Chain A
Amino acid sequence: MTGVPLSWFLILSAVLFSLGVAGFLIRRSVLTVFMSIELMLNAVNLSFVAFSYQLKQVNGHLFTFFVMVVAAAEAALGLAIILAVFRNRGTLQVDEVNSMKN
């Protein structure tokens, strides 16, 4: 990594991950919450690639592909569930999808 030290990548990755966590906890629309999860997964991918480059291995690069495949499967499934919720309730606000007693 000519000129750019490892720590910068890790800090960027941590910032992205934290943004994802904040988005998950703060946003009220199911779709935005779902996008926040994707942001977290991509932050992890950045860490994997940075570590892999630092360690001079290909393993980390390979892991990102596994993560992408899983994220894609998760997206397909998540959107289907979100669609079913919308058909059932007519809303995508997290607070309004809460019919069970606490």
Chain B
Amino acid sequence: MPDSFIPTSAELLRILPEIILVLAATLIMVLAPLVKGREQNALGYVSLYGLVAALAAALSGYFDPGPAFHQLILVDGFATYFRVLVIFAGILTTLASYQYLRREDADSGEYYALLLFSVSGQSLMAASNDLIMIFIGLEISSLASYVMAGFLRNRAQAIEAALKYFLLGSFATAFLLYGVAWIYGITGSTYLLTIRSVFERGAQTPGILLAGAAAALIFVGFAFKVAAWPFQSWAPDVYQGAPVPVAAFLSAGPKAAAFAVFVRVFVTALGPIGGRWEPLFWLSALATMLIGNFAALVQTNIKRLLAYSSIAHAGYVLVAMTAHSEIGTAAVMFYMAAYVLMNVGAFAVVAHVCGRQERFVELEDFAGLGERQPVSAALLTVFLLSLIGVPLTAGFFGKFYIFRAALQADLVWLTVLGLLASAVAAYYYLRIIVIMYMHQPAESAAELPPLRGALGAAVWISAAGTLVLGIFPSLILNFAGNSALLAR
């Protein structure tokens, strides 16, 4: 066996976060049959410790950047940023799931194992430097999350969500793969940097016309994962049907990882043929923002409303990608961090209020929450204000950087229409706040336990993060800006 077949320790260290996550997941699977029923909740601690260890490993990877496994993996600032982000989303999800699963009397061992497998796939996506590696990471992440969506399989809506997510997800993956095959045929490689150098030679490249078609096929695959037009229709059904903590996870982790590879593939590899895919992104960004925001106006179910809101937010991020500049990439990175914090936070509050069997997920069930649970209501208000983009919250700077990047790339119309769309969004977020503080609680409203424990920690951490990023955005913006230089 040639020496190059044996990975060096430096290479193994570069995938240490994934190794830790997979080991922790396997450990949970081994332990799960040994502990009975409700005791399995204790495995949440294993999940939490595994994620924290992986977070530390991902952070330490930043100080030893470089490629691994024949360039399949590339650990740089960009990879580190998104790795930390998806692992952090995993931590928040674990915290938000604990009380929920106990309330539903679910055998939670498999749940945490699947969560860790999914996070490991996303972490791999963030660090991959090759189209095939991206495909494998995407599938590891997706396969686990299909099961998570239907985890409470006796609940009719959950299993329906799993089926829809699975069928449409596999359908979109096939398109992605077909695009990869064509890129491979045109350029003779699946390495992102080689593809870039082939396209940099410009019009002499044979098959440059087909490259546009291949880019469109790859776009289909990624657009599905981030729920962008015209592949957003699965999101409302899946988020509504899936258990609330899973909906929180699906709207955060897979989306952040998908945007990471979206940027890697389109800005790094296909950057030189930017003129060919830019109009596609322009149209998709606009349609995603409009559909998300206008459809959210008429929703009465809060999970469905947050699903449409997450579609709209994917649209804003696509605006920054359309700019395909360094500050555009930095804006994508900053926005994803803000988005993960505020969205998981909002879903976590819903997980607190929804009660057993998710009986209280209509907007009217939030009536009088300001009196019944002043703390929960105040924290949900923080998240909603951030989703609107009010100053002093992370959402404000996120939108600010995105639209500034768009303006610098001369995307004036897209900026104007995007800002109008986000003004529409203020209506449905404010409506929730009005219901919480101005409406009287219904007679049937259940007694809520105080917001405490792991779920409380998830909500408080998200709220603190949302405010800190809103007041000191430079904490991570500088890092994002430096890493965005590398991503080119």
Contact = CB atoms under 8 A, between A and B. Distances in A.
Nearest to B160: A97
Contact of A97 (B139, B163, B174): B163
Interface in A48-102: 48, 50-51, 54-55, 57, 59-60, 63, 66-67, 70, 73-74, 77-78, 81-82, 84-85, 88-89, 97-101
Interface string A31-49: 0011001001101100110
Contact of A33 (B160, B167, B178, B190): B167
Select the residue from A43, A82, A97, A100 with max chain B CB neighbours within 10 A.
Answer: A100
Contacts, number: 101
B178 A47 contact: yes
The A contact surface, by secondary structure, is: helix
A78 B170 CA distance: 9
B136 interface: yes
Given A48-B184, A51-B185, A100-B241, A37 B170 contact: yes
Nearest to B154: A88
Contact of A81 (B166, B178, B184): B166
Interface residues of A, number: 40
A11 B20 CA distance: 44
A99 to B, nearest CB: 6
B185 A77 contact: no
Nearest to B164: A97
A79 B147 CA distance: 12
A30 B174 contact: no
Contacts of B139: 70, 73-74
A59 B190 contact: yes
A66 B170 contact: no
Contact of A73 (B143, B156, B185): B143
A60 B184 contact: yes
Contacts of B132: 63, 66
B146 interface: yes
Select the residue from A44, A51, A97, A99 with max chain B CB neighbours within 10 A.
Answer: A44
Contacts of B150: 81, 84
Given A47-B185, A73-B143, 14 more contacts: A17-B178, A37-B170, A40-B171, A41-B174, A44-B174, A44-B178, A44-B181, A48-B181, A77-B166, A81-B159, A81-B163, A85-B160, A85-B162, A85-B163
23 contacts: A17-B178, A37-B167, A37-B171, A40-B171, A40-B178, A44-B178, A47-B182, A48-B184, A51-B181, A51-B185, A55-B188, A57-B188, A59-B189, A63-B181, A66-B135, A70-B139, A81-B146, A81-B166, A85-B160, A89-B156, A97-B160, A100-B241, A101-B304
Interface of B: 132, 135-136, 139, 143, 146-147, 150, 153-154, 156-157, 159-160, 162-163, 166-167, 170-171, 174, 177-178, 181-182, 184-185, 188-190, 236-237, 240-241, 301, 304
